[in-house]
A and B are shown apart, each in its own frame.
Chain A
Amino acid sequence: MFGVSTQALFGQLLLGLINGSFYALLSLGLAVIFGMLNIINFAHGALYMMGAFCAYFLLQWAGVGYWGALVLAPLIIGLVGVLIERTMLQWLTGLDHLYGLLLTFGLALIFQGLFQNYFGSSGLPYAIPPQLTGGQNLGFMFLPNYRAWVVVFSLAVCLVTWFVIERTKLGAYLRAATENPTLVRAMGVNVPRMITLTYGAGVALAALAGVLAAPINQVRPLMGADLIIVVFAVVVIGGMGSIMGSIVTGFALGLVEGLTKVFYPEASNTVIFVIMTIVLLIKPAGLFGRAA
């Protein structure tokens, strides 16, 4: 097809789906946090990186393997998130939302700087868990088991998150508090605690993406720095209001990026930003967003 081997085409599409999983998990976390706190969490990329490092530390220092890290790292980093919200972000309530962006940007600089200071800029290896090594020969392509796992598992996590927010009682509280925190408080719901836990949950999603990424991309202090900007573009394309929107856009844009790598590699870095520009011109509120 167009002089491109099917092997390369499907290989890149798979890579696109993998990147798409990370875009989806990260933009989902951003959307959840934005919904409750009305801030854009600039530290999201740094917290994703810390999730990967947490998995690495757990293995090196505590002998906890991949499966343990998949549970523990999001919990630990989520706790870091709770601390950040309690000690800093909560003081910004009532101020211009831009201060939240600036504060989390500063936090991202601190985290990335600290890790760079102690671990340099090169990557640390993290092995694929033994249960997921090897792969399947599908005839038209070779499918490594771990990559298939990442795509399926991320999709599952995204759908569960969507279900919790859109279809459960807890989610209903969350959505109500997003719409009108004062009224929900008057009904006896502890909204500040909900806000704290929401931030922690959004951060945990980022850390989870970090653990998933550790065996694929090496564990590097700056692994989240450029990624977060792409995720911002994904969020703008999807539009802020919708949980499902951010999941669909994340995966779709990963695929588009993968396709661009096959057919016009020079543009693979910029294609998402170009799409963002086009979407802004045609549908300023984003593909799934409510009019701002």
Chain B
Amino acid sequence: MADATAESASIAPVHSARGAAASERYAFIIMALALIVAPLAIYPFFLMQAICFALFACAFNLLIGYVGLLSFGHAMFLGVAGYVSAHTAKVWGVNPEIAILLAVLSSGALGLIVGALVIRKQGIYFAMITLALSQMVYFFCLQAPFTHGEDGIQSVPRGKLFGLIDLANQTNCYIFVLVVFLAAFLLIHRAINSPFGEILKAIRENEPRAISLGYKTEHYKLIAFVLSALLVGLAGGMKAIVAQNASLTDVHWTMSGEVVLMTLVGGLGTVFGPVVGAFVIIAMQTYLSSFGSWVTIIQGAIFVACVLAFRRGIVGELSRIIGKPL
């Protein structure tokens, strides 16, 4: 059918270059340096929030950018991980690294269940089902006793990392968040440039062909989904410790929409796009918060503008201008 070529027109750009390009290496160094000096000029708490969201968006981008799966329910992983880490840190009194580890594991377990259910689905179905499942998780969080419903879990202690480093100290906390983020970022970068990542891209471009080459594509997709959930769990667990609370906002579908927006603004399927997008969106929310519901309207308008005229996103356009992958 004539439609077939249009159907497979992929949502993310294709870079022919194999492995990590030099441009990406330089960009990573610039990003790391910028984040190291940033607290001198910008309020560290804002930076830590933005970094957590950047990790969230990177993990989301792993699916949409490299497997071509649009999850509209990623808030469930962020929210559940936040609740687990806040609950264990506050009620069980465990160290922050244990709380975050438990958050990562529970998010990964949820990812395995949800992934097993949806991984055979594609495109719009995948988006709708993940959205519906995350709404189910939302109602669970609304009603479960340990989440404290509308109140959320407040005044979570930041605690001492490994029982030694006091995270109540803003500098310590910032260094911790930055190190975790950079490590996770490198892990994602490694994953997408590994043979595993190449198979994911092959699935994105042409799944039937990948199957005919003997790849069990569903296994690869499921692994990518769980990996994404684990990393979102890391972001959510860390965010609950940093912000010292966990609330329903993080499980709500609006959050699922926000991470899509961040990635779209930054550039779907680019390595650095989600980071840039997360900073742009979080900055916009922070500085425009006095405008109330106008923030939602502006976000909607950015969605529309990006889809109609700016599909490559900020980093995607930049990468096109310099002619190198970013």
Interface residues of A (CB under 8 A from B): 34, 39-40, 88, 91-99, 101-103, 105-114, 116-117, 180-182, 226, 229-230, 232-233, 235-236, 240, 266, 269-270, 273-274, 276-277, 280-281, 284, 292
Which of B178-186, B211-219, B271-279, B289-297 faces chain A?
A: B289-297
- Cα A277 to Cα B295 in complex, Å, equals 34
- Nearest CB of chain B from residue A285's CB, rounded to whole Å: 10
Listed A/B pairs (8) with beta-carbon separation below 8 Å:
A101-B127, A105-B303, A110-B297, A110-B300, A240-B125, A270-B140, A276-B132, A277-B136
Contact for A96 among B10, B299, B306, CB less than 8 A:
B10
Q: Is B11 an interface residue (CB 8 A)?
A: yes
**Residues from chain B with Cβ under 8 Å of A281 in the complex:** 117
- Cα A176 to Cα B142 in complex, Å, equals 46
**Residues from chain B with Cβ under 8 Å of A96 in the complex:** 9-11, 123
Q: Is B308 an interface residue (CB 8 A)?
A: yes
Asked whether, in the complex, the Cβ of B132 is within 8 Å of the Cβ of A229, the reply is: yes
Asked whether, in the complex, the Cβ of A229 is within 8 Å of the Cβ of B123, the reply is: no
**Residues from chain A with Cβ under 8 Å of B9 in the complex:** 94-96
Asked whether, in the complex, the Cβ of B293 is within 8 Å of the Cβ of A103, the reply is: no
Asked whether, in the complex, the Cβ of A276 is within 8 Å of the Cβ of B129, the reply is: yes
What is the predominant secondary structure among interface residues of chain A facing chain B? helix
Contact for A103 among B1, B129, B297, B303, CB less than 8 A:
B303
Q: Is B283 an interface residue (CB 8 A)?
A: no
Residues 270-326 of B contacting A (Cβ, < 8 Å) = 292-297, 299-304, 306-308, 311
**Residues from chain B with Cβ under 8 Å of A92 in the complex:** 307-308
Asked whether, in the complex, the Cβ of A106 is within 8 Å of the Cβ of B127, the reply is: no
Asked whether, in the complex, the Cβ of B127 is within 8 Å of the Cβ of A182, the reply is: no
Contact for A113 among B72, B122, B135, B293, CB less than 8 A:
B293
Asked whether, in the complex, the Cβ of A99 is within 8 Å of the Cβ of B311, the reply is: yes
Q: What's the tally of chain B residues with a CB closer than 8 Å to chain A?
A: 49
Interface residues of B (CB under 8 A from A): 1-3, 6, 9-11, 70, 72, 117-118, 120-125, 127-129, 131-133, 135-136, 139-140, 142-143, 253, 257, 260, 264, 292-297, 299-304, 306-308, 311
Asked whether, in the complex, the Cβ of A229 is within 8 Å of the Cβ of B140, the reply is: no
- Cα A163 to Cα B146 in complex, Å, equals 51
Residue from the set A91, A182, A270 with the largest chain B CB neighbour count within 10 Å: A270
Asked whether, in the complex, the Cβ of B128 is within 8 Å of the Cβ of A106, the reply is: no
Contact for B131 among A39, A99, A112, A229, CB less than 8 A:
A229
- Given A98-B123, A105-B303, A182-B2, the answer on whether A40 and B117 have CB atoms closer than 8 Å is no
Whose C-beta in chain A lies nearest to the C-beta of B128?
A232
Asked whether, in the complex, the Cβ of B253 is within 8 Å of the Cβ of A97, the reply is: no
**Residues from chain A with Cβ under 8 Å of B143 in the complex:** 266, 269
Whose C-beta in chain A lies nearest to the C-beta of B73?
A229
Asked whether, in the complex, the Cβ of B11 is within 8 Å of the Cβ of A99, the reply is: yes
Asked whether, in the complex, the Cβ of A229 is within 8 Å of the Cβ of B253, the reply is: yes
- Cα A284 to Cα B307 in complex, Å, equals 30
Asked whether, in the complex, the Cβ of B304 is within 8 Å of the Cβ of A280, the reply is: no
- Nearest CB of chain B from residue A126's CB, rounded to whole Å: 22
- Cα A106 to Cα B304 in complex, Å, equals 5
